[in-house]
Chains A and B, each alone.
Chain A
Amino acid sequence: MKFQLHPLQTEVLFHAGPVPITVTVATTWGIMAVLVILSWLSMRHTQVRGGWLQSVVEVTVEALADQIKAIIRTDPWPYLPLLGTLFIFLVFANLSGELPGVQAPTAHIETPAALALIVLLSVQFFGLRTQGLKGYAERYLEPNPLLLPLNLLSQITRSFSMMVRLFGNMMSHEFIIAIILFLAGLFVPVPFMLLGILIGLIQAFIFTVLASVYVGGAIGAAEAGQDRSDS
């Protein structure tokens, strides 16, 4: 038996024309389908006194909006489609690794890289939209125009660290389970898998909180300073 375990390679499932479709991509599509079906089912017949599924979705969205409002300190609803979807997708993606036969997509480096790139670009977009080109460009020259390279570099490094953090946590967790299973046997990894649920939830939370902090920083520190006194 060859012990095949490689953190940086993904298994190719099939080829769609010249494009290789990996297991990670297939799992991501599955999670997307589950999320779409859940949203469609819960919001199909919306009522004022809705069913349990509608209530669960409503409570989740409200809680996410509250949390994001507490971080960015302004109206959260323009940013909720990105940040809330990010959190819900990450919860599903991180916890899908606990299902038998499913690999968590975030445990391979491509998915966190794509998510971090999305966050990096949308932070710039939100900043440009709320502050205009001049106002947003001036932020890169603060406190001193000499720091422009460092400001640009910090944008890239913090996205890189988001990617590496999510990937490293999820992948090392998968590795630890594999190694313990290899050494100890069938039922010993169960507590570690319980720990994995916690790790997955915390990493999804941290990724979303950091994305919200970056978005909140880009859309303006001035209004955040005014709000801080009364909340």
Chain B
Amino acid sequence: MTAEMLSIIAAAIAVSVGAIGPAFAEGRAIAAAMEAMARQPEASGTISRTLFVGLAMIETMAIYCLVVALLLLYANPYTH
């Protein structure tokens, strides 16, 4: 198996496995925010702003995986 084939498989694994954790985490964060907003609708502005920042933080992990996959596919130092 060449380095190129290995990098393609590794890129697919990086994105697919790396998306699982952030997906669960975002789901839990949104569920908690929804519950908080239903309890206290007057605080929904603060809650949604904090939610967006938190989602961005969580999403960063998935995007790191995406960047690793892109580096493997397009800027791989081991294949050329």
A-side residues, CB < 8 A to B, are 6-8, 67, 70-71, 161, 164-165, 168-169, 172, 202, 205-206, 209-210, 213
Which residue from chain A places its CB closest to the CB of B66 in the assembled complex? Answer: A168
Contact indicator B52/A202 (Cβ below 8 Å): yes
The answer to whether A172 and B52 touch (CB under 8 A), given A6-B74, A7-B74, A8-B75, is no
The answer to whether A164 and B52 touch (CB under 8 A), given A8-B74, A8-B75, A70-B45, is no
Mark B39-80 against chain A: 1 for CB-CB distance below 8 A, else 0.
Answer: 000000110010011011001100110110010001100000
- CB neighbours (8 Å) of B74 from chain A are 6-8
Interface size class of B (residues with CB under 8 A): 10 to 19
| A-B Cβ contacts below 8 A, count | 41
B-side residues, CB < 8 A to A, are 45-46, 49, 52-53, 55-56, 59-60, 63-64, 66-67, 70, 74-75
CB distance from B3 to the nearest CB of A (A): 19
- CB neighbours (8 Å) of B67 from chain A are 164, 168
